[in-house]
Amino acid sequence: MTEYWQEELETINRKDLEKLQLTRLWQTIERAAKSPFYQKVFAERNISVDTVRTLEDLQKLPFTTKDDLRKSYPYGMAAIPLKECVRLHSSSGTTGNPTVVLHSAKDLSEWANQVARCMYMVGIRDTDIFQNTSGYGMFTGGLGFQYGAERLGCLTIPAAAGNSKRQIKFIVDFGTTCLHIIPSYAVRLAEVMYAEGIDPRKDTKLHTFCIGAEPHSEEQRQRIEQMIGVKAYNCFGMSEMNGPGVAFECKEQNGLHIWEDYTIVEIIHPETLEPVPEGEVGELVLTTLNREAMPLIRYRTRDLTCILPGECRCGRTHKRIARFKGRSDDMIILKGVNIFPIQVEEVLMQFKELGSDYLITMETIDNNDEMLIEVELGDFSTDDYSRLQNLTKTITRHLKDELLITPRLKLVSKGSLPVQEGKAVRVRELRIKN
Ligand code: COA
Ligand code: AMP
Ligand code: ZN
Protein backbone atom coordinates (compact mmCIF):
# COMPACT_ATOMS: atom_id res chain seq x y z
CA MET A 1 0.00 0.00 0.00
CA THR A 2 1.33 3.43 -0.91
CA GLU A 3 -0.09 6.75 0.14
CA TYR A 4 -1.96 7.19 -3.12
CA TRP A 5 -2.95 3.67 -4.15
CA GLN A 6 -4.81 2.29 -1.18
CA GLU A 7 -6.26 -0.93 -2.44
CA GLU A 8 -7.25 -2.20 1.02
CA LEU A 9 -9.15 0.99 1.73
CA GLU A 10 -10.64 1.50 -1.72
CA THR A 11 -12.00 -2.03 -1.94
CA ILE A 12 -12.72 -2.47 1.78
CA ASN A 13 -15.86 -4.48 2.54
CA ARG A 14 -18.83 -2.38 3.64
CA LYS A 15 -18.93 -3.78 7.16
CA ASP A 16 -15.31 -2.86 7.86
CA LEU A 17 -15.82 0.51 6.20
CA GLU A 18 -18.76 1.27 8.47
CA LYS A 19 -16.74 0.24 11.54
CA LEU A 20 -13.97 2.60 10.45
CA GLN A 21 -16.51 5.37 9.85
CA LEU A 22 -18.04 4.99 13.30
CA THR A 23 -14.64 5.17 15.03
CA ARG A 24 -13.74 8.24 13.00
CA LEU A 25 -17.15 9.80 13.65
CA TRP A 26 -16.59 9.53 17.41
CA GLN A 27 -13.20 11.23 16.98
CA THR A 28 -14.86 13.91 14.86
CA ILE A 29 -17.52 14.64 17.47
CA GLU A 30 -14.89 14.88 20.19
CA ARG A 31 -12.76 17.21 18.08
CA ALA A 32 -15.71 19.32 16.97
CA ALA A 33 -16.78 19.85 20.59
CA LYS A 34 -13.65 21.97 21.02
CA SER A 35 -14.78 24.59 18.48
CA PRO A 36 -16.80 27.56 19.82
CA PHE A 37 -19.55 26.81 17.28
CA TYR A 38 -20.10 23.13 18.07
CA GLN A 39 -19.47 23.66 21.78
CA LYS A 40 -22.54 25.88 21.86
CA VAL A 41 -24.64 23.66 19.57
CA PHE A 42 -23.79 20.53 21.56
CA ALA A 43 -24.48 22.24 24.89
CA GLU A 44 -27.87 23.55 23.73
CA ARG A 45 -28.93 20.09 22.54
CA ASN A 46 -27.20 18.02 25.14
CA ILE A 47 -25.09 16.25 22.53
CA SER A 48 -21.93 14.32 23.34
CA VAL A 49 -20.08 11.42 21.81
CA ASP A 50 -22.48 9.13 23.72
CA THR A 51 -25.38 10.42 21.60
CA VAL A 52 -24.00 8.37 18.72
CA ARG A 53 -23.89 4.59 19.23
CA THR A 54 -24.35 3.57 15.60
CA LEU A 55 -23.92 5.29 12.24
CA GLU A 56 -27.70 5.73 12.06
CA ASP A 57 -27.49 7.89 15.20
CA LEU A 58 -25.73 10.55 13.10
CA GLN A 59 -29.26 11.66 12.28
CA LYS A 60 -29.68 12.80 15.88
CA LEU A 61 -27.10 15.51 15.22
CA PRO A 62 -28.16 18.84 13.70
CA PHE A 63 -27.15 20.01 10.24
CA THR A 64 -24.41 22.57 9.69
CA THR A 65 -25.02 25.23 7.03
CA LYS A 66 -23.08 27.79 5.03
CA ASP A 67 -24.84 30.39 7.13
CA ASP A 68 -23.41 28.83 10.31
CA LEU A 69 -19.96 29.20 8.76
CA ARG A 70 -20.63 32.81 7.84
CA LYS A 71 -21.87 33.61 11.34
CA SER A 72 -18.80 31.95 12.82
CA TYR A 73 -16.50 34.18 10.73
CA PRO A 74 -13.55 34.18 11.03
CA TYR A 75 -12.46 31.57 13.60
CA GLY A 76 -15.60 30.32 15.33
CA MET A 77 -15.36 26.88 13.70
CA ALA A 78 -11.72 26.26 14.67
CA ALA A 79 -11.42 23.05 16.67
CA ILE A 80 -7.70 23.41 17.35
CA PRO A 81 -5.64 26.43 18.43
CA LEU A 82 -4.80 28.79 15.54
CA LYS A 83 -1.14 28.13 16.29
CA GLU A 84 -1.69 24.58 15.00
CA CYS A 85 -3.43 25.73 11.82
CA VAL A 86 -1.23 26.22 8.78
CA ARG A 87 -3.64 27.31 6.01
CA LEU A 88 -6.81 29.31 5.62
CA HIS A 89 -9.07 29.34 2.54
CA SER A 90 -11.92 31.80 2.23
CA SER A 91 -14.80 32.33 -0.19
CA SER A 92 -15.16 35.50 -2.26
CA GLY A 93 -17.15 38.53 -1.23
CA THR A 94 -16.52 41.68 0.70
CA THR A 95 -20.11 42.80 1.26
CA GLY A 96 -21.06 40.03 3.71
CA ASN A 97 -19.05 37.61 5.78
CA PRO A 98 -17.30 35.05 3.61
CA THR A 99 -16.79 31.47 4.76
CA VAL A 100 -13.45 30.44 6.18
CA VAL A 101 -11.92 26.96 6.12
CA LEU A 102 -8.91 26.13 8.29
CA HIS A 103 -6.39 23.33 7.88
CA SER A 104 -3.74 21.74 10.06
CA ALA A 105 -0.57 20.32 8.48
CA LYS A 106 -2.08 16.83 8.80
CA ASP A 107 -5.32 18.02 7.12
CA LEU A 108 -3.31 19.27 4.14
CA SER A 109 -1.37 16.04 3.92
CA GLU A 110 -4.57 13.95 4.02
CA TRP A 111 -6.10 16.18 1.36
CA ALA A 112 -3.07 15.68 -0.90
CA ASN A 113 -3.40 11.92 -0.43
CA GLN A 114 -7.08 12.10 -1.29
CA VAL A 115 -6.44 14.02 -4.54
CA ALA A 116 -3.50 11.74 -5.42
CA ARG A 117 -5.77 8.73 -4.90
CA CYS A 118 -8.30 10.19 -7.36
CA MET A 119 -5.65 10.94 -9.96
CA TYR A 120 -4.09 7.49 -9.64
CA MET A 121 -7.54 5.95 -10.05
CA VAL A 122 -7.90 7.44 -13.54
CA GLY A 123 -4.44 6.31 -14.64
CA ILE A 124 -2.31 9.37 -13.89
CA ARG A 125 1.20 8.35 -12.81
CA ASP A 126 4.46 9.93 -11.66
CA THR A 127 5.62 9.89 -15.28
CA ASP A 128 2.86 12.34 -16.22
CA ILE A 129 3.18 16.08 -16.72
CA PHE A 130 0.23 17.71 -15.05
CA GLN A 131 -0.87 21.28 -15.82
CA ASN A 132 -3.35 23.01 -13.55
CA THR A 133 -5.51 25.72 -15.16
CA SER A 134 -7.43 26.41 -11.97
CA GLY A 135 -7.19 29.73 -10.20
CA TYR A 136 -4.65 29.56 -7.36
CA GLY A 137 -4.93 31.76 -4.29
CA MET A 138 -8.21 31.10 -2.53
CA PHE A 139 -9.60 28.75 -5.21
CA THR A 140 -9.02 25.31 -3.76
CA GLY A 141 -8.70 23.76 -7.22
CA GLY A 142 -5.31 25.47 -7.43
CA LEU A 143 -3.35 24.36 -4.38
CA GLY A 144 -5.56 21.26 -3.94
CA PHE A 145 -4.52 19.74 -7.26
CA GLN A 146 -1.00 21.14 -6.97
CA TYR A 147 -0.25 19.21 -3.79
CA GLY A 148 -2.18 16.14 -4.95
CA ALA A 149 -0.23 15.94 -8.22
CA GLU A 150 3.07 16.53 -6.46
CA ARG A 151 2.21 13.83 -3.91
CA LEU A 152 1.66 11.46 -6.80
CA GLY A 153 5.01 12.50 -8.20
CA CYS A 154 3.87 14.22 -11.38
CA LEU A 155 5.88 17.04 -12.88
CA THR A 156 3.37 19.72 -11.98
CA ILE A 157 2.84 23.02 -13.80
CA PRO A 158 0.92 25.65 -11.77
CA ALA A 159 -0.18 27.54 -14.90
CA ALA A 160 -3.26 28.97 -13.07
CA ALA A 161 -6.33 30.42 -14.80
CA GLY A 162 -6.47 32.53 -17.95
CA ASN A 163 -4.17 33.38 -20.85
CA SER A 164 -5.14 30.61 -23.21
CA LYS A 165 -2.25 31.14 -25.62
CA ARG A 166 0.25 30.69 -22.81
CA GLN A 167 -1.60 27.57 -21.58
CA ILE A 168 -1.29 26.12 -25.08
CA LYS A 169 2.39 27.03 -25.36
CA PHE A 170 3.05 25.21 -22.07
CA ILE A 171 1.03 22.19 -23.21
CA VAL A 172 3.01 21.93 -26.43
CA ASP A 173 6.50 22.89 -25.19
CA PHE A 174 6.45 21.06 -21.85
CA GLY A 175 4.71 17.97 -23.22
CA THR A 176 1.78 18.27 -20.81
CA THR A 177 -0.14 14.99 -20.62
CA CYS A 178 -2.89 15.82 -18.10
CA LEU A 179 -4.92 18.92 -17.32
CA HIS A 180 -7.15 19.98 -14.50
CA ILE A 181 -9.64 22.24 -16.22
CA ILE A 182 -13.15 23.56 -15.79
CA PRO A 183 -15.41 22.02 -18.49
CA SER A 184 -16.56 25.32 -20.02
CA TYR A 185 -12.94 26.45 -20.23
CA ALA A 186 -11.87 23.15 -21.81
CA VAL A 187 -14.18 23.88 -24.73
CA ARG A 188 -12.80 27.41 -25.01
CA LEU A 189 -9.20 26.16 -24.87
CA ALA A 190 -9.88 23.61 -27.61
CA GLU A 191 -11.34 26.36 -29.81
CA VAL A 192 -8.25 28.51 -29.27
CA MET A 193 -5.99 25.56 -30.11
CA TYR A 194 -7.76 25.00 -33.39
CA ALA A 195 -7.68 28.75 -34.15
CA GLU A 196 -3.91 28.70 -33.55
CA GLY A 197 -3.54 25.83 -36.03
CA ILE A 198 -2.76 23.27 -33.33
CA ASP A 199 -4.26 19.83 -33.61
CA PRO A 200 -4.39 18.54 -30.02
CA ARG A 201 -4.28 14.90 -31.18
CA LYS A 202 -1.13 15.37 -33.27
CA ASP A 203 0.64 18.33 -31.72
CA THR A 204 0.19 17.58 -28.00
CA LYS A 205 0.64 14.62 -25.64
CA LEU A 206 -2.60 15.27 -23.76
CA HIS A 207 -4.41 12.11 -22.66
CA THR A 208 -6.34 12.80 -19.41
CA PHE A 209 -8.44 15.72 -18.17
CA CYS A 210 -9.81 16.15 -14.65
CA ILE A 211 -12.91 18.29 -15.12
CA GLY A 212 -15.09 19.72 -12.39
CA ALA A 213 -15.99 22.76 -10.29
CA GLU A 214 -19.12 23.46 -12.31
CA PRO A 215 -22.16 21.51 -13.52
CA HIS A 216 -21.78 19.91 -16.93
CA SER A 217 -23.62 17.33 -18.95
CA GLU A 218 -22.46 13.93 -20.19
CA GLU A 219 -22.69 15.44 -23.69
CA GLN A 220 -20.31 18.22 -22.73
CA ARG A 221 -17.83 15.69 -21.38
CA GLN A 222 -18.01 13.72 -24.61
CA ARG A 223 -17.60 16.89 -26.63
CA ILE A 224 -14.41 17.74 -24.71
CA GLU A 225 -13.12 14.20 -25.17
CA GLN A 226 -13.78 14.31 -28.90
CA MET A 227 -12.48 17.83 -29.49
CA ILE A 228 -9.15 17.09 -27.82
CA GLY A 229 -8.77 13.32 -28.01
CA VAL A 230 -8.54 12.73 -24.24
CA LYS A 231 -10.42 10.96 -21.48
CA ALA A 232 -12.19 13.43 -19.18
CA TYR A 233 -13.13 12.47 -15.61
CA ASN A 234 -15.62 14.29 -13.43
CA CYS A 235 -14.19 15.60 -10.19
CA PHE A 236 -16.21 16.99 -7.31
CA GLY A 237 -14.97 19.07 -4.46
CA MET A 238 -15.94 22.04 -2.38
CA SER A 239 -13.90 24.37 -0.23
CA GLU A 240 -15.82 23.49 2.93
CA MET A 241 -14.78 19.84 2.40
CA ASN A 242 -11.12 20.85 1.67
CA GLY A 243 -11.61 21.20 -2.08
CA PRO A 244 -11.18 18.79 -5.01
CA GLY A 245 -10.99 15.08 -4.32
CA VAL A 246 -14.20 14.55 -2.33
CA ALA A 247 -15.61 12.37 -5.12
CA PHE A 248 -14.16 11.38 -8.47
CA GLU A 249 -15.13 9.22 -11.40
CA CYS A 250 -13.23 6.01 -11.92
CA LYS A 251 -12.38 4.67 -15.37
CA GLU A 252 -15.90 3.27 -15.69
CA GLN A 253 -17.13 6.89 -16.03
CA ASN A 254 -20.38 5.93 -14.38
CA GLY A 255 -20.79 8.05 -11.27
CA LEU A 256 -18.27 9.53 -8.86
CA HIS A 257 -16.87 7.44 -5.99
CA ILE A 258 -17.25 9.44 -2.84
CA TRP A 259 -14.45 8.54 -0.46
CA GLU A 260 -16.26 7.23 2.57
CA ASP A 261 -13.14 6.85 4.69
CA TYR A 262 -12.94 10.66 4.51
CA THR A 263 -16.65 11.57 4.64
CA ILE A 264 -20.03 10.18 5.58
CA VAL A 265 -22.49 10.81 2.80
CA GLU A 266 -26.23 11.38 3.22
CA ILE A 267 -28.85 12.45 0.70
CA ILE A 268 -31.80 14.32 2.15
CA HIS A 269 -35.00 15.85 0.87
CA PRO A 270 -34.19 19.58 0.67
CA GLU A 271 -37.49 20.58 2.26
CA THR A 272 -38.42 17.82 4.71
CA LEU A 273 -34.71 17.22 5.47
CA GLU A 274 -35.50 13.51 5.77
CA PRO A 275 -33.22 10.92 4.14
CA VAL A 276 -34.26 9.84 0.63
CA PRO A 277 -33.80 6.28 -0.68
CA GLU A 278 -30.86 5.29 -2.89
CA GLY A 279 -31.38 6.37 -6.47
CA GLU A 280 -33.57 9.33 -5.52
CA VAL A 281 -32.32 12.87 -6.05
CA GLY A 282 -31.88 15.02 -2.98
CA GLU A 283 -29.40 17.30 -1.30
CA LEU A 284 -25.93 16.03 -0.56
CA VAL A 285 -24.97 16.23 3.12
CA LEU A 286 -21.42 15.47 4.21
CA THR A 287 -19.66 14.83 7.50
CA THR A 288 -15.88 15.06 7.59
CA LEU A 289 -14.19 12.07 9.21
CA ASN A 290 -10.56 12.92 9.64
CA ARG A 291 -10.24 16.67 9.68
CA GLU A 292 -8.53 18.20 12.67
CA ALA A 293 -8.72 21.98 12.26
CA MET A 294 -12.33 22.27 11.22
CA PRO A 295 -14.51 19.18 11.41
CA LEU A 296 -17.95 19.62 9.88
CA ILE A 297 -20.97 17.58 10.90
CA ARG A 298 -23.86 17.00 8.49
CA TYR A 299 -22.86 19.89 6.25
CA ARG A 300 -25.62 20.83 3.81
CA THR A 301 -23.80 21.25 0.49
CA ARG A 302 -26.95 22.40 -1.35
CA ASP A 303 -25.85 20.27 -4.31
CA LEU A 304 -28.52 17.97 -5.74
CA THR A 305 -27.54 14.45 -6.63
CA CYS A 306 -28.35 10.82 -5.80
CA ILE A 307 -26.54 7.68 -4.70
CA LEU A 308 -26.24 5.30 -7.64
CA PRO A 309 -27.49 1.88 -6.62
CA GLY A 310 -25.41 -1.21 -7.26
CA GLU A 311 -21.74 -2.01 -7.26
CA CYS A 312 -19.13 -0.47 -9.51
CA ARG A 313 -17.38 -2.73 -11.98
CA CYS A 314 -14.01 -1.30 -10.93
CA GLY A 315 -14.25 -3.18 -7.60
CA ARG A 316 -14.17 -0.10 -5.38
CA THR A 317 -16.74 -0.34 -2.62
CA HIS A 318 -17.18 3.36 -1.90
CA LYS A 319 -20.60 4.65 -2.94
CA ARG A 320 -21.04 6.52 -6.21
CA ILE A 321 -22.93 9.77 -6.59
CA ALA A 322 -24.48 10.88 -9.87
CA ARG A 323 -23.49 13.94 -11.92
CA PHE A 324 -25.00 16.97 -10.17
CA LYS A 325 -28.54 17.95 -11.11
CA GLY A 326 -28.44 21.50 -9.76
CA ARG A 327 -28.61 23.27 -6.42
CA SER A 328 -31.22 23.80 -3.75
CA ASP A 329 -30.21 27.44 -3.36
CA ASP A 330 -29.68 30.28 -5.87
CA MET A 331 -25.89 29.99 -6.19
CA ILE A 332 -24.63 30.43 -9.75
CA ILE A 333 -21.30 29.04 -10.94
CA LEU A 334 -19.57 31.01 -13.69
CA LYS A 335 -16.07 30.12 -14.96
CA GLY A 336 -15.65 27.97 -11.83
CA VAL A 337 -16.49 30.89 -9.55
CA ASN A 338 -19.43 30.75 -7.12
CA ILE A 339 -21.75 33.74 -7.18
CA PHE A 340 -24.87 34.55 -5.17
CA PRO A 341 -27.22 37.06 -6.88
CA ILE A 342 -27.42 38.97 -3.58
CA GLN A 343 -23.73 39.87 -3.99
CA VAL A 344 -24.59 41.64 -7.26
CA GLU A 345 -27.48 43.45 -5.64
CA GLU A 346 -25.38 44.57 -2.70
CA VAL A 347 -22.78 46.14 -4.99
CA LEU A 348 -25.38 47.83 -7.21
CA MET A 349 -27.23 49.29 -4.22
CA GLN A 350 -24.09 51.13 -3.14
CA PHE A 351 -24.46 53.46 -6.15
CA LYS A 352 -26.98 56.24 -5.62
CA GLU A 353 -27.08 56.83 -9.42
CA LEU A 354 -28.84 53.46 -9.85
CA GLY A 355 -32.48 52.54 -9.45
CA SER A 356 -33.51 49.26 -7.87
CA ASP A 357 -34.40 47.16 -10.92
CA TYR A 358 -31.80 44.87 -12.42
CA LEU A 359 -31.59 41.67 -14.42
CA ILE A 360 -28.75 39.16 -14.56
CA THR A 361 -28.48 37.11 -17.75
CA MET A 362 -26.13 34.15 -17.92
CA GLU A 363 -25.23 33.52 -21.56
CA THR A 364 -22.70 31.88 -23.85
CA ILE A 365 -20.97 34.15 -26.35
CA ASP A 366 -18.35 32.71 -28.72
CA ASN A 367 -17.92 29.67 -26.47
CA ASN A 368 -17.41 31.88 -23.41
CA ASP A 369 -19.83 31.80 -20.52
CA GLU A 370 -20.61 35.36 -19.53
CA MET A 371 -22.74 37.33 -17.11
CA LEU A 372 -24.67 40.34 -18.41
CA ILE A 373 -26.04 42.68 -15.76
CA GLU A 374 -28.62 45.21 -16.91
CA VAL A 375 -29.51 47.77 -14.33
CA GLU A 376 -31.84 50.72 -14.45
CA LEU A 377 -30.55 54.18 -13.74
CA GLY A 378 -32.22 56.40 -11.15
CA ASP A 379 -32.14 60.12 -11.65
CA PHE A 380 -29.20 60.03 -14.00
CA SER A 381 -29.26 61.28 -17.56
CA THR A 382 -28.11 58.84 -20.23
CA ASP A 383 -27.30 61.84 -22.48
CA ASP A 384 -23.92 62.49 -20.87
CA TYR A 385 -22.08 59.64 -22.58
CA SER A 386 -18.71 60.11 -20.91
CA ARG A 387 -20.22 60.27 -17.39
CA LEU A 388 -22.19 57.15 -18.21
CA GLN A 389 -19.05 55.37 -19.40
CA ASN A 390 -17.13 56.34 -16.27
CA LEU A 391 -19.94 55.16 -14.05
CA THR A 392 -20.12 51.84 -15.93
CA LYS A 393 -16.37 51.35 -15.49
CA THR A 394 -16.47 52.13 -11.78
CA ILE A 395 -19.38 49.81 -11.06
CA THR A 396 -17.82 47.03 -13.16
CA ARG A 397 -14.62 47.31 -11.12
CA HIS A 398 -16.58 47.03 -7.87
CA LEU A 399 -18.47 44.04 -9.22
CA LYS A 400 -15.25 42.33 -10.29
CA ASP A 401 -13.76 42.89 -6.82
CA GLU A 402 -16.81 41.30 -5.25
CA LEU A 403 -17.48 38.46 -7.70
CA LEU A 404 -13.97 37.66 -9.02
CA ILE A 405 -15.28 37.56 -12.59
CA THR A 406 -15.85 40.49 -14.94
CA PRO A 407 -19.51 40.95 -15.82
CA ARG A 408 -20.76 42.93 -18.83
CA LEU A 409 -22.63 45.82 -17.31
CA LYS A 410 -25.31 47.75 -19.15
CA LEU A 411 -26.85 50.80 -17.50
CA VAL A 412 -30.27 51.33 -19.01
CA SER A 413 -32.77 54.14 -18.64
CA LYS A 414 -35.47 54.02 -16.02
CA GLY A 415 -38.44 51.82 -16.92
CA SER A 416 -36.72 49.97 -19.76
CA LEU A 417 -36.38 46.56 -18.10
CA PRO A 418 -39.39 44.28 -18.61
CA VAL A 419 -42.13 44.90 -16.05
CA GLN A 420 -42.61 41.83 -13.89
CA GLU A 421 -45.69 40.65 -12.10
CA GLY A 422 -45.25 39.13 -8.65
CA LYS A 423 -41.81 38.15 -7.37
CA ALA A 424 -39.12 39.72 -9.56
CA VAL A 425 -37.04 37.29 -11.63
CA ARG A 426 -33.49 38.48 -11.21
CA VAL A 427 -31.57 35.75 -13.06
CA ARG A 428 -32.07 34.38 -16.57
CA GLU A 429 -30.11 31.25 -17.50
CA LEU A 430 -29.37 31.15 -21.24
CA ARG A 431 -26.00 29.37 -21.20
CA ILE A 432 -25.47 26.57 -23.69
CA LYS A 433 -24.77 23.44 -21.71
CA ASN A 434 -25.07 20.98 -24.59
N1 COA B 1 -10.42 28.68 -15.96
C2 COA B 1 -9.29 29.18 -16.48
N3 COA B 1 -9.24 30.21 -17.35
C4 COA B 1 -10.43 30.75 -17.72
C5 COA B 1 -11.64 30.27 -17.22
C6 COA B 1 -11.61 29.21 -16.30
N7 COA B 1 -12.73 28.70 -15.77
N8 COA B 1 -12.64 30.98 -17.78
C9 COA B 1 -12.08 31.88 -18.59
N10 COA B 1 -10.74 31.74 -18.57
C11 COA B 1 -9.74 32.50 -19.32
C12 COA B 1 -10.32 33.20 -20.53
O13 COA B 1 -10.36 32.38 -21.65
C14 COA B 1 -9.38 34.37 -20.68
O15 COA B 1 -8.17 33.95 -21.31
P16 COA B 1 -7.93 34.22 -22.90
O17 COA B 1 -8.57 35.51 -23.23
O18 COA B 1 -6.47 34.22 -23.03
O19 COA B 1 -8.56 33.06 -23.58
C20 COA B 1 -8.99 34.73 -19.26
O21 COA B 1 -9.27 33.55 -18.49
C22 COA B 1 -9.78 35.87 -18.70
O23 COA B 1 -11.13 35.58 -18.92
P24 COA B 1 -12.29 36.65 -18.75
O25 COA B 1 -13.55 35.97 -19.09
O26 COA B 1 -11.94 37.87 -19.50
O27 COA B 1 -12.09 37.04 -17.23
P28 COA B 1 -12.98 37.22 -15.95
O29 COA B 1 -12.44 38.43 -15.28
O30 COA B 1 -14.45 37.21 -16.17
O31 COA B 1 -12.64 35.91 -15.08
C32 COA B 1 -10.94 34.31 -14.32
C33 COA B 1 -11.34 35.76 -14.59
C34 COA B 1 -11.15 33.40 -15.50
C35 COA B 1 -9.46 34.38 -14.04
C36 COA B 1 -11.74 33.81 -13.09
O37 COA B 1 -13.02 33.57 -13.52
C38 COA B 1 -11.12 32.55 -12.49
O39 COA B 1 -10.14 32.64 -11.77
N40 COA B 1 -11.69 31.35 -12.81
C41 COA B 1 -11.17 30.11 -12.33
C42 COA B 1 -11.83 29.70 -11.02
C43 COA B 1 -11.37 28.36 -10.55
O44 COA B 1 -10.23 27.97 -10.73
N45 COA B 1 -12.23 27.61 -9.90
C46 COA B 1 -11.89 26.31 -9.44
C47 COA B 1 -12.45 26.06 -8.12
S48 COA B 1 -12.04 24.42 -7.68
P1 AMP C 1 -15.93 25.69 -4.31
O2 AMP C 1 -16.21 25.69 -2.87
O3 AMP C 1 -15.59 27.04 -4.87
O4 AMP C 1 -14.91 24.66 -4.69
O5 AMP C 1 -17.29 25.30 -5.04
C6 AMP C 1 -17.96 24.13 -4.69
C7 AMP C 1 -19.20 23.96 -5.54
O8 AMP C 1 -18.86 23.83 -6.92
C9 AMP C 1 -19.96 22.71 -5.20
O10 AMP C 1 -20.78 22.88 -4.07
C11 AMP C 1 -20.74 22.48 -6.49
O12 AMP C 1 -21.90 23.28 -6.53
C13 AMP C 1 -19.77 22.93 -7.55
N14 AMP C 1 -19.04 21.79 -8.11
C15 AMP C 1 -17.83 21.35 -7.75
N16 AMP C 1 -17.49 20.26 -8.48
C17 AMP C 1 -18.52 20.00 -9.32
C18 AMP C 1 -18.76 19.01 -10.31
N19 AMP C 1 -17.89 18.08 -10.61
N20 AMP C 1 -19.95 19.07 -10.96
C21 AMP C 1 -20.87 20.03 -10.67
N22 AMP C 1 -20.68 20.99 -9.75
C23 AMP C 1 -19.52 20.99 -9.08
ZN1 ZN D 1 -15.62 2.53 -9.95
Helices (H), 229-264: none
Q: Is the backbone of residue 236 left (phi > 0), alpha (psi -120 to 50) or beta?
A: beta
Complete DSSP assignment for 38-70: HHHHHHHHT--GGG-SSGGGGGGSPPB-HHHHH
How confident is the model at residue 168, as a pLDDT?
Answer: 98
What are the pocket residues of ligand 1 if the criterion is a CB atom closer than 6 Å to any ligand atom?
133-135, 139-141, 161-165, 182, 185, 188, 192, 213, 244, 335-337, 404-406
Span from the CA of 418 to the centroid of ligand 1 (angstroms): 31
Span from the CA of 429 to the centroid of ligand 3 (angstroms): 33
How confident is the model at residue 420, as a pLDDT?
Answer: 75
Q: Which ligand gives the minimal distance to the CA of 256? A: 3
Span from the CA of 99 to the centroid of ligand 1 (angstroms): 22
Ligand 2 proximity of 220 Cβ (cutoff 6 Å):
no
Burial of residue 219, with CB atoms counted within 10 A of its CB: 0-12 exposed, 13-18 middle, 19 or more buried = exposed
Report CA-CA distances (Å) from 24 to 46, 234, 243, 360: 21, 27, 20, 44
Residues of the chain with pLDDT under 70: 1-3, 95, 434
Question: By three-state DSSP, how is residue 304 classified?
Answer: strand
**What is the amino acid identity at position 354?**
L
Span from the CA of 407 to the centroid of ligand 1 (angstroms): 12
Residue 306 neighbours by CB distance under 10 Å: 20
Q: Which ligand gives the minimal distance to the CA of 241? A: 2
What are the b/e assignments for 51-77, b being 16+ CB within 10 Å?
ebeeeeebeebeebebebbbebeeebb
Question: By three-state DSSP, how is residue 189 classified?
Answer: helix
How confident is the model at residue 3, as a pLDDT?
Answer: 60
Residue 16 neighbours by CB distance under 10 Å: 12
How confident is the model at residue 1, as a pLDDT?
Answer: 39
Name the residue with the closest Cα to ligand 1, atom 12.
162
